Structure 1
Amino acid sequence: MKFHFQQAIRAVILLAFSAMIFNLHLTGEIEKFTNPKYNGLSKIVAILFLFLFVVQFTRIFSLSHKDHLHSHNCCVHHSHNKLQSNSKKLFSYFIITVPLLTGFLIPAKTLDASIAEKKGGVMIISKKTQNTKLKEYAESVTSNESIGENLYGNEHTVDPSLIVERQEIPEKNITD
């Protein structure tokens, strides 16, 4: 009976993903990461990972010692370079385990008002200045003092046909 270390690592990764998703559902923290309408789908994924773990667990031990069934001169489409192959495997396992480590070690935190203030402060200020410019322009247009004035400054020229059309449009009463 032979133990396959790489198959065991894969089984542990599948079990860890399944456990993490089940834990998020049990604690209710899954809603911090996904839309609530996808809760059923994430439960299916957790069950699928658990099923794949069971399948992978059967591959950890084998009765035969046949690792390589082909000769080393069989073809040229793959390499037998163990060092390059192992570094690629380690890198791929690292990429897969990073979400697991962050999921188990870093606590989930919802965005509260203080974080939103820090992140959205610039956007709020820019919206205020944009709204004040639009209000000033709307006041100048409704007073008909400067219909030909350009809202965008000197960057864009005003089309004279639009000014003529604006003068011909009758004012609508908002209370109608």
Structure 2
Amino acid sequence: MKKNVNNDGLYSIVYRREPLGKKCRCDVLLDGFLWRELVEIDPSELPRNPGVYVIRVFEYGDPIDELIRGFKSFISKTRWIELSRYVESRLKRLYRIGECPLIYIGSANSIRSRYLDLAGKRHTIFFPVLILLYGGWKLDYGFKTTQNKDEAEMLEEELKNKYKSIHGTLPALVEK
């Protein structure tokens, strides 16, 4: 993997300046974001700074209906009713994936720690992302750092509002 030396003399991973996949009208919102394929990221190379992160589909895989049906069958074998309810409430979001490849916008106190949360530790979209990856979907992860958490939250809200003005709704995996 290619690395560059940054201003501090430390090695850092090379990120793309553009997302992969098809273009969309909302791409104008992503100016200044850095990009890597979600599954290729080494968390230790992500910044600890606050910021905004997004997830974008760049290659579609198996149909959503098939993926959800299979995962519900898998989860039901646990016979754990509350787990099934929780997972199903998260999976419903997948049905909202449409033509726009941008499926999530969020903010974080630390880009690095929130990425780790996304990997299953504590993130509301863990199950939807897991199912998409299992079904052969390819996802791009973009981020933009900010000076502080307040700035990150304001940028997140601004991006969501602009996205909604373009598409009439929030990204597929965003609840509020």
TM-score bracket for the superposition, by shorter chain length: under 0.3
- TM (norm. structure 1) is 0.21
- TM (norm. structure 2) is 0.21
Please state which structure has a larger fraction of its residues in helix.
Answer: 1
Greater Rg over alpha carbons, structure: 1
Structure with higher RCO (Cα < 8 A, 6+ apart): 2
Please state which structure has a larger fraction of its residues in strand.
Answer: 2
